[in-house]
Structure 1
Amino acid sequence: MSPTFDVALVPFEAARSELHAVRETVFIREQGVPASIERDALDPLCVHVLARSQDGTPIGTGRLTPERRIGRMAVLGDWRGRGVGEAMLALLVEAARVAGWPEVSLHAQASAIDFYRRNGFLPSGPRFEEAGIEHQSMHRALAGPAAVEDREQATAMLLGLIAGTRRTLRIYSRELDSGLLDSSDVVGALRRLAVRGGETRILLQDPDAPRRALAPLIGLSQRLPSSFLFRAVEDPVDLAYPSAFAVNDADGWYFRPLGHRIDGEGRIDSGPRARELRNSFDPVWERSRICTEFRALGI
């Protein structure tokens, strides 16, 4: 099916009226942002993206500011949930990469945090109010891996990996990472991956701990047995492996040098490191035993 919209970088002066038409509808009329705040002196200095429907009607906007920040992301109501935001964001991220920026940041409205997490952005700092709306500062590394320093960032990184998985997600964990792999956001994302035909392979060093804790992923795997596969590491060399990681079958990975800690680093778009981790995972998977005890657990 041909796309129903087009997305392109546009010069501000030539597209001023179209950009403002979308932003006025979304920010000023819909969200009540004062016009004096919505329109600022940065506009002529920014790189702008504009989405248009097939008949040429403007339906979405976004911009890159000189402060290396993405902003003014707006999509008309009838077009939300149809991939317009993702397409605009991808084009802005690529423009920032071409410009040589090491990272790009943004202030996400609270209602859009999940959208940005799925697209590789990590939260930083507390939430704050801007133009009367709750926001969260977020950033995405472009030139190297992003540092993951706390559970919120770990969750965001994992959600980005799950969203980018084409068919198979691989997870190497000590004991199913309580507080991360049992969070409602992550479990929900893994369920959605399963529903769209994806498979999650999980290697565990200690399968008894999550079984005793009634980990929600075990229950989910019983309902969707063809989508969730668990194996237990038994080789002494494998059991001595100190790290933990998740890697998808695209270019995304999240690596923790010490598996009992949450801090580490990751990216959603680094192919060589992703291939390295998949090549590390697969031989261990082949020589590990199937967790048949998970199938028998009645929850």
Structure 2
Amino acid sequence: MISIQLINTTNSLYLLEQDLRNHILLRPIGVPDHAWEMHDKKAWHFVAVENDVVIGCVVLNPLNPEKTKTQLMQMAVETNQQGKGIGKLLVKELLSFCMSNGIKEVVCHARDNAVPFYLILGFEIYDEPFVEVGIPHEHMRISIAD
């Protein structure tokens, strides 16, 4: 059974989340481990856990002092678990958290191959495409209804 848990950097699952982010997102593109953790202490971390193993994660970083605008970052699902709906579970839990906590907007920098995933979940493309860490990306966002 897969559970989605909200954790912080003091939770023992955080180390497993870091490892997942490093081997799924960073190492394949030549970025050093832990290179995208600058916001981790102030962010909310959602992890998909099965049998005490983190098989998916996403980070929600507040972008303003009021914490009404946030950025979805570092979305990763274990390679052998992709295509099973774990990413959707993570984002739906994240959006539910936003609704319950007065967050009005979530933005993300979506890799080109992830754009269809976010479109299905209700995100929209805005602004111009850009390149980040050598990969084409789109600016995407979703507004959270009251």
Judge same fold: TM > 0.5, yes or no.
yes
Where do residues 166-185 of structure 1 align in structure 2 (5 Å cutoff)? none
Partner residue, 1:123 = 125
Seq. identity, %:
27
The answer as to whether partners of 1:60 and 1:74 remain within 8 angstroms in 2 is yes
Residue 60 of structure 1 corresponds to 56
Aligned-pair distance for 1:129? 1.0
Residue 11 of structure 1: CA displacement? 2.1
Aligned partner of residue 90 in structure 1, secondary structure: helix
Q: Counterpart of 2:6 in 1: which secondary structure?
A: strand
* Count of matched residue positions in the alignment of Structure 1 and Structure 2: 139
Return the alpha-carbon distance in structure 1 between the equivalents of residues 79 and 101 of structure 2: 31
Match of residue 48, structure 1, among 45, 51, 56: 45
1:94-145 per-position Cα deviation (integer Å, ceiling 9, x unaligned):
111212122211111111000000000000011111122111110111127x
Shift of 1:36: 5.6
Q: Which has the higher helix share?
A: 1
Structure showing greater radius of gyration is 1
Runs of 5+ unmatched residues, structure 2: 64-69
SS at match of 2:128: coil
124-133 or 75-84, which moves further after superposition? 124-133
**Alpha-carbon distance, 1:31 to partner:** 3.1
Matched residue, 2:6? 9
Structure 1 letter corresponding to 2:60: L
Match 1:96 to one of 91, 95, 98: 98
Q: Which residue of 1 aligns with 2:136?
A: 134
User: Deviation per CA, 1:50-100, whole angstroms, max 9, x where unpaired?
Assistant: 1112x2111111111011111110001000000100000011111112121
**3-state SS of paired residue (1:35):** coil
Aligned-pair CA distance for 1:29: 2.2
Alpha-carbon distance in structure 1 between the residues aligned to 2:29 and 2:59: 19
Matches within 5 A, 1:214-253: none
**Mapped contact 1:127–1:137 kept (Cα < 8 A):** yes
Which has the bigger relative contact order, CA under 8 A and spacing at least 6? 2
Question: Normalising by structure 1, what TM-score?
Answer: 0.45
Select which of 46, 64, 76 maps to 2:78: 76
1:128-207 counterparts in 2 under 5 A? 128-143=130-145
Kept after mapping to 2: 8 A contact 1:110/1:136 = yes
Kept after mapping to 2: 8 A contact 1:12/1:43: yes
Q: Retained in 1: the 8 A contact 2:124–2:141? A: yes
Could you say if the C-alpha distance between residues 59 and 111 of structure 1 is closer, same or farther in structure 2, counting changes exceeding 3 Å? same
